[in-house]
């Protein structure tokens, strides 16, 4: 899935980022929930090396 993640600091919202989510079940997602950045497999290159990308997962 894809979601809009609001990054904050002590003063409040700083920026909103659209990014991949590790959770695809809408019943397990809610507005305002804490998430954390993680790396997930994306593909492999021609030499068989794993290429990763970033996604947000529930905290």
One digit per residue, pLDDT tens: the chain, 59 residues? Answer: 999 999 999 998 899 999 999 999 999 999 999 999 999 999 999 999 999 999 999 99
pLDDT at 4: 96
Q: Is 45 left (phi over 0), alpha (psi -120 to 50) or beta?
A: beta
Domain spans, the chain: 2-58
pLDDT at 13: 81
pLDDT at 27: 95
pLDDT at 45: 98
pLDDT at 12: 84
Q: How many CB atoms lie within 10 A of CB 21?
A: 17
**Overall pTM surpassing 0.85 (yes/no):** no
């Amino acid at each position: 899935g894809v979601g809009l993640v609001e990054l904050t600091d002590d003063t409040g919202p700083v920026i909103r980022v659209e990014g991949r989510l590790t959770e695809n079940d809408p019943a397990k997602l809610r507005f305002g929930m804490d998430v954390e950045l993680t790396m997930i497999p994306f593909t492999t290159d021609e030499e068989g090396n794993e290429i990763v990308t970033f996604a947000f997962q529930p905290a």
